[in-house]
Chains A and B, each alone.
Chain A
Amino acid sequence: MDRILFGDNQFFAVNHLSDEKARAQSVRFAKNEAIIKVLDTAIDLGIKTFMCTTHDRISGICDHIRKNPQRYNDFKIFPCMPYAHKYANAVTELGIVGALKEYLPGNIFSTIAKGGIAYAKKDFIAMMELLIDAEMKMFKGIDTPVIFIQNVLTDLILGLGMKDIFRAYHTYIIKKYNAEPGYITMNLVHLLNVLEEVGIKNPVVCSSINKIGFRMSGGTKLYEKTIAEKEFRPVAMQVLAAGALRPAVAFEYVCKQKKIESILFGASSYDHIKESRDMINRFNN
C-alpha cells in the first residue's frame, strides 16, 4: 500500500463536523469533471491511490479512468463497500427484505436467477457474494488491490458476533478479485481480536487514529499499544479528527507511530493536498 491514500468524503457531501460545509462541497462537486480535476491534482502531486466508497457517481469517474489509460497508468482504487446510505434509505422505506429485493441482481422470486436461488435457499454467503459483485461492477478493468468493507457494516457484524461472515468475505475477495481484503472500523481493538479468532492473519485494517481519541473506541492509549504490538497493517483515517486538530499536530502524531502503513486524507485544493503531503513526508523522516 502507498503511504498516502486519497479519500473521497469531500466529493460526496460528507463532513463530520458541518452539514453546511458538506452542502457547499456538494455544490462544488456536482459535476464529475470537478472531481476528476481534483484527482488529477493529487496525481500530479505524486498520490497514486484513491480510496473511495462505491457511490453511484464513482462509476462516472471509473469510465473516465478507463478512457484515459495512459494518464492513469499506475493509478489504483481501493473500493469501500457498500455505500451505506443507499441501503439505509432503502431499508427505512422498504424494510430489509424489500431492500434486498431492490439490490440483489435478478428477481429474488424467480428461481432461475442466481440471486433468486440464493435467496430461496437462504444461502447468505452466496447473497453476499452477489452484492459484492454488484458493487464491484463499476471497477471493471481498474486496478483494485485492496477492497474494504465500510465501518458501518464491519462494526454491525462485529457487534452481532457474526465472525464467520468476515472469514467468508476474506476468502471471496482473495478468490474472486485476487485482492487484499480490508476492514474499516471504529472499534479497532475489538475487531482485531475477532479477526484473529477466525484465523485471518495480518489483516489490513483502517480505523480512526488521531491525537484526541475521536471515534476510537477504547481511547488513544489502548490504540497506541495495539498498533505497536498486534500483527496487522494499520491504515489511519480521521487523522485530523474531523478538523478538530491542526494538520501539523495531527500528522506528527500519526507519523510517529511507525507501524502505521498508510494515511488516508481528503482535500479539495492544490494547496491543501500539497500541504498534507509535505507534512507527511517531513514527519516520515
Chain B
Amino acid sequence: MIKTGIIGLGKMGLSHASIINAHRDLDLVSVCDTSNLILEAMKKYGSFEVYTDYKKMIDESDLNALFIATPTKYHSEMVIYALEKGIHVFCEKPFALTIAQGENMVELAKKNKLVNQAGYHNRFIGTFNYLKKLIENKAIGEVYHFIGEAYGPVVVKRKESTWRSDSSEGGGCLFDYASHVINLIEYVLDDIKEVDGVMLKKIYSSGVEDAVYGGLYLANGLSGQLSVNWSDETYRKMSTQITVQGTEGKIITDAQEMKIYLKKENKKLGLEKGWNMRYITDLTDPVDFYLRGEEYSTQVDYFAKCIASGTLENVNSFESALHTDLIIESLKNKSR
C-alpha cells in the first residue's frame, strides 16, 4: 500500500480524499486542513490522523505520496517540503503563483526522481483523448484553426470576496477556468508559443477578470482562439469545448460528445462521410470507484500506477502545468 496524505479539504480535496481512500493501492493515513470543523468530522467519522500543520503531518506520517489541494499560493512551500522528504506529489491546478516558484518545483521533482502530477483532469477524459488521436492521424487533414472554450456559472453576481476573487492568490477566471482550456489545448494540439489580442473582462468581480478572450499561436504554427467566461449562468456547470477545423473536416468536442464532420469517408478510423457522432460512453474505460466523473478516479489511479512502476514521464507533469502558468502570465501581460 502507498501511504498517502492530503492537504486541503475543500471541494477538490474531499473528492480526492474519497477516491484515494477507496483505491486498492492507496492508503489515506492523514489529512490536513485549517478548518477545525472539517477536521473534527474527518476524525469523528473517518479513520484518519488529522493535522492543522502540514509540516507536522509530513514529519510524523511517513508518507509515500501527498495530494495538495490548497489555494495556489500555498502550493510552492508545500510541494518543496514534500519533495525534499522524498514524497511523490500530486498538486492541484493552477500550479504555481509565480514562474520562479514553478521552476523550483519542477527542478526539485526531477532531481529527486519523484512522480509529479498536476490536477488537469481533462487530460483523462475519453472524448478529448480521442480528439488528440484523430488529429494525430490527420483525420481532418491539415488543421488550420481551433477554438477553445469554457463557460460556467461561478460568479453570477457581486458578492463578498474570497481567495478566488484575488489574483495575487491564484483567483480569477484566468487561473481557475481558462487554465483548464489552455492546458487542454497544449495537450491535444501543441504548446502555445505566443498570445495576442487578449481581452480580460471584469463582469461582477472587482479584483479579478470574469472572462478571458484572445488569440493563441502554437509551436507547430497553428493558430486559434480562446473564449472563457465563468459568469455565464446559461450553463448549469462548467462546460469545456474544443472546435478544430481542418482541410478535410471539422471536429467539435466537449467532455460528453464529439461531432465529427468529414469531407470524405475514412475507413481506417471507421468514420463516414458527413457527420459522425461519438459519445463518452464509447470512449471511457470503467473505474473501480466512481465519484463525480471517471476522469477523477482515472487520474488518481494513474498517479498510483506511476508510483508503483517508477514512471517519471507522465501526461500531466509539473512541467506541463508550469507551461500553462507561463501562458497565463503572458495573457495577463498582453491584456490591455
Contacts and interface: CB of A to CB of B under 8 A. Distances in A.
A28 interface: no
Nearest to B294: A215
Contacts, number: 127
B22 A159 contact: yes
Interface in B260-297: 279-282, 286-292
B13 to A, nearest CB: 9
B281 A91 contact: no
Interface in B222-251: 234-237, 239, 241
What's the interface size class on B, roughly? 35 or more
Nearest to B11: A91
A93 B164 contact: yes
B44 interface: yes
Dominant secondary structure of chain A at its interface with chain B: helix
B10 A91 contact: yes
B241 to A, nearest CB: 8
Contacts of A95: 10, 162
Contact of A161 (B14, B35, B41, B47): B47
A243 B235 CA distance: 22
B325 interface: no
Contacts of B21: 159-161
Contact of A217 (B38, B41, B46, B286): B286
A122 B36 CA distance: 9
A14 B235 CA distance: 11
Contact of A156 (B36, B47, B286, B291): B291
Given A92-B11, A92-B164, A85 B289 contact: no
A218 B288 contact: yes
B45 A164 contact: yes
A30 to B, nearest CB: 12
Nearest to A168: B45
Nearest to B36: A122
Interface in A154-196: 155-165, 186-187, 190
A94 B45 contact: no
B236 A186 contact: no
B292 A152 contact: yes
Interface of B: 9-11, 14-15, 17-19, 21-22, 35-38, 40-42, 44-47, 153-155, 159, 162, 164, 234-237, 239, 241, 254, 256-257, 279-282, 286-292
Contact of A96 (B11, B280, B288): B11
6 contacts: A88-B11, A94-B162, A96-B11, A122-B40, A158-B22, A212-B281
A215 to B, nearest CB: 6
Contacts of A161: 21, 46-47
Given A13-B236, A17-B256, 7 more contacts: A91-B11, A96-B11, A100-B37, A122-B36, A160-B17, A162-B46, A241-B281
Contacts of A119: 37
A160 B286 contact: no
A17 B286 contact: no
B15 to A, nearest CB: 7
Contacts of B40: 122, 124
B37 A158 contact: no
B153 A159 contact: no
Among B17, B19, B291, find the residue whose CB has the most chain A CB atoms closer than 10 A.
B291
A46 interface: no
A216 interface: yes
Contacts of B17: 159-160
Contacts of A212: 281
